[in-house]
Amino acid sequence: MLKILGRNNSSNVQKVLWALGELDLEYTRDDIGGPFGGNREADYLVMNPNGLVPTLIDGDTVLWESNVIVRYLARKYAPNSLLPDSLTDLARAEQWMDWQQTVVAPAHFPVFWGLIRTAPEDRDLDAINNGRDRFEQVMTILDHHLSDSAFVGGESLSMADIPVGIMVYRWFTLDIERMELPSLHRWYQRLADRPAYKNNVMIGLT
């Protein structure tokens, strides 16, 4: 059976759990990382030399890097649903997935870390406010993209939605000012209707 190593409040672990939920695949999960620890142990580092979560174990296949794991699951278990079929659509999906890692995640990080993982008396308000502005800029790019399609990769959910879908929950849940982004909001509501998103992503921020 598939096994996931990683605590379920991690955004990167949630990508994998959401994908598994969409595919209705059975798996087990061990709480690793954060307060649970275990990710700096020698046996864990053999599987994931970064000491980060998530790690996926699928038989002899051991993988790290959340977006790669989502791509692997889509290719192996969902070639007709989460995986786009044309070369161009596949590349566009991967474009939005890489954009989440390289642009959105760093933009959101100071806001998430400052408001959720830092005690009020220790917060760097400038870093939080600058992060909020940058987070809004990148969510505006996504809002614009979503103005003419129901999902990031077209008219149905695909792997393109998963990394940015984790970020949009944080955008709408963090206690921050938000400008109106109607297409983004409609897409978020579509995601929120999906049990796999509700059960694995919309679980509060800790």
Ligand X SMILES: N[C@@H](CCC(=O)N[C@@H](CS)C(=O)NCC(=O)O)C(=O)O
Which residues of this protein are in contact with ligand X, per CB under 6 A?
Answer: 10-12, 33-34, 39, 52-54, 65-67
Rounded least distance, CB 15 to ligand X, Å: 8
Query: What crossing angle do the helices spanning 87-99 and 161-173 adopt, rounded to 10°?
Result: 30
Least Å distance, CB 52 to ligand X, is 3
Strand 27-30 to 2-5 pairing = parallel
Burial class (CB in 10 A: 0-12, 13-18, 19+), 122: exposed
Nearer to ligand X, 52 or 164 (CB): 52
* Shortest Cβ 34–ligand X spacing (Å): 4
CB of 157 to ligand X, least distance (A): 20
Compute CA 186 distance to the chain's CA centroid, rounded to the nearest angstrom.
18
Q: How far is the CB of 111 from ligand X (least distance, A)?
A: 15
The answer to whether residues 156 and 85 touch, using CB atoms and an 8 Å cutoff, is: no
> Which residue has the closest beta carbon to ligand X?
33
DSSP state of 28: E
* Residue 34 or 154 with smaller CB distance to ligand X: 34
Contacts of 182 (CB under 8 A, 6+ apart): 143
Helix (H, G, I), strand (E, B) or coil at 179: coil
Closest distance to ligand X from the beta carbon of 194 (Å): 21
> Residue 57 belongs to what H/E stretch?
strand 55-58
Residue closer to ligand X (CB basis): 88 or 102: 102
Q: Which residue's CB is nearer to ligand X, number 13 or number 90?
A: 13
Tokens of 95: 């474009």
Question: Considering beta carbons, is residue 62 or 150 the nearer one to ligand X?
Answer: 62
**Look-up of token digits 């977006």:** 67
Q: Which is nearer to ligand X, 11 or 158 (CB)?
A: 11
